[in-house]
Structure 1
């Protein structure tokens, strides 16, 4: 394993935790805009429709994927700037 990969491990872990929190906050805001409600439905919410549950799940997955990709890419670029080597 090269030095860039080793250096990136703790950075990647910290960025992963931060991106999860950021994505969660972004999803809550997006759901408020869509439904006008504070809480997105859980799959086991009896009073929610299939449509609401599936839309919420798809939106959450999309937001988490985009935020994770953006944060991972930014971390890799920053690691290359510091070490001169791409961590991937």
Structure 2
């Protein structure tokens, strides 16, 4: 394992955990504004329609993907500034 990988592993793990927390909070806020409901529907909720369930899943996936990519990219930049090379 090279130096960049060793430096990036803990940054990636911590960043991933923080990304999950940030993404969940962002999704709750976005969903509350978009739908007027404080709670997003669960896939098995019999009182919600397909459209609402799938819209919530799509919004949630987009937010999680955006936050994760941002954190991963930031972590890679941090590793490059610490080691001088981009992590593998």
CA distance in 1, matches of 2:83, 2:36: 46
Aligned residues: 88
CA distance in 2, matches of 1:81, 1:3: 13
Q: Secondary structure at the match of 1:55?
A: helix
- Deviation digits for residues 33-57 of structure 1 (CA, Å, limit 9, x no counterpart): 1111111000000100100000000
Tell me the equivalent position of 2:59. Answer: 59
CA distance in 2, matches of 1:23, 1:38: 16
Gaps of 5+ in 2: none
Alignment of 1:29-48 (within 5 A): 29-48=29-48
Gaps of 5+ in 1: none
